[in-house]
Amino acid sequence: MVAPSYGRGPTRRAEHDRTVRARPRPLCHAVPMVTSPATTPNVLVLVVEDEPAIATAIARRLSAEGWRVEMALDGHAGVSMASTLRPDVVVLDVMLPGLDGLEVCRRIQAERPVPVLMLTARDDETDMLIGLGVGADDYMTKPFSMRELVARTKALLRRQERAARAAEIDTGTGASLPPLVVGDVAVDRAQRRVHRGSAEVHLTPTEFDLLVTLVSSPRTVLTRERLLAEVWDWVDASGTRTVDSHVKALRRKLGADLIRTVHGVGYAFEPSEPADGNGRTGGTEGTGT
Ligand code: CA
């Protein structure tokens, strides 16, 4: 049985997505709650998507999970609703009239960090966005299945809960997680800051989580499926591309020498200094290539 997919227009070309409709479009409206038993009744999802049919289909499906869903049909409405409604997760289309998804994501994240699932038109567009460090937590290429959308949204919510719990434990005990120091890379998990040698490296939240996972098992090959499970908290073959794209972005920021590709399997963190835990600094600087 083939699950219906959403986001497929008359053609799959990105041009289609850029088509500006002439008909008037309301800025935003709420989707009536579906009265199914809610396991997580307080979750609020903001959907920013200018195609009303897709926005409504997404909203209906997410409402069926027992979540509250609000829709914004353009970028400016998305930014302002994220600010006033303080959603738990944002589903954000990249091609929006006026203010595009990249800028919406930046503005939303600048005001308050919130998990963002970005909808893109093509796989290479996803690579490009990850490369730009836009800061979305996950990416889905149109057309996509609603089942996958729900799975990924749930995974983002689990990640968020996990991070909140970790912060709570930290605050409660007054103790912070010790920094990870491998070779010339130092990862401060409490402050979420990364240095290579004496240079600070700025990572997006997802890049940071991926680096922590890799650095925690130096010189060990981690499969893409394992990285997907540990960082994104879900497993599906379609997600391994996200892993590849984020590794590419990490390499560019930290230096290509640190992460080894094991073709067809996964990745290994290869520190440039012996992993003696002495935290030697001043080693090879990331070249940023
Ligand atoms: Ca669009």
Confidence (pTM): 0.72
pLDDT band at 137 (very low <50, low <70, confident <90, very high): confident
pLDDT value of residue 14 = 40
Which of the given ranges, 35-44, 119-128, 155-164, 222-231, has the highest pLDDT on average?
222-231
Average pLDDT, integer, range 98-104: 93
pLDDT band at 225 (very low <50, low <70, confident <90, very high): very high
Domain ranges of the chain: 44-169, 180-269
DSSP secondary structure code for residue 258 in this structure: G
Cβ pair 216, 179 in contact under 8 A? no
Cα(51) to centroid of ligand 1, in Å? 6
Cα(91) to centroid of ligand 1, in Å? 12
Average pLDDT, the chain: 81
pLDDT band at 8 (very low <50, low <70, confident <90, very high): low
Q: Report how far residue 110's alpha carbon sits from residue 204's, in angstroms, rounded to the nearest whole number.
A: 12
Which of the given ranges, 168-177, 228-237, 279-288, has the highest pLDDT on average?
228-237
Average pLDDT, integer, range 225-254: 86
Which one, of 259, 12, 28, lies nearest residue 141 by Cα? Answer: 12
Which one, of 133, 123, 260, 266, lies nearest residue 203 by Cα? Answer: 133
Helix (H, G, I), strand (E, B) or coil at 49: coil
Tokens 């922590």 appear where?
212
pLDDT value of residue 23 = 37
Which of the given ranges, 58-67, 113-122, 171-180, 236-245, has the highest pLDDT on average?
58-67
C-alpha dist (Å) from residue 272 to 30, 185, 227: 53, 9, 22
CA atoms within 13 A on the CB side of 246: 29
Q: Give buried/exposed letters for 17-45 (b at 16+ CB in 10 A, else e).
A: beeeeeeeeeebeebeebeeeeeeeebeb
pLDDT value of residue 33 = 38
Residues lining ligand 1 (ion), CB within 5 A? 17, 50, 93, 95
Query: What CATH topology corresponds to 180-269?
Result: Arc Repressor Mutant, subunit A (1.10.10)
pLDDT of residue 74 exceeding 80: yes
Cα(54) to centroid of ligand 1, in Å? 9
**Helix-then-strand count for the chain, H and E:** 9, 15
Helix (H, G, I), strand (E, B) or coil at 219: coil
pLDDT band at 279 (very low <50, low <70, confident <90, very high): very low
Average pLDDT, integer, range 110-121: 91
| CATH number of this structure's domain 44-169, picked from the four choices 3.40.50.2300, 3.40.50.1100, 3.10.20.70, 3.40.190.90 | 3.40.50.2300
Cα(178) to centroid of ligand 1, in Å? 43
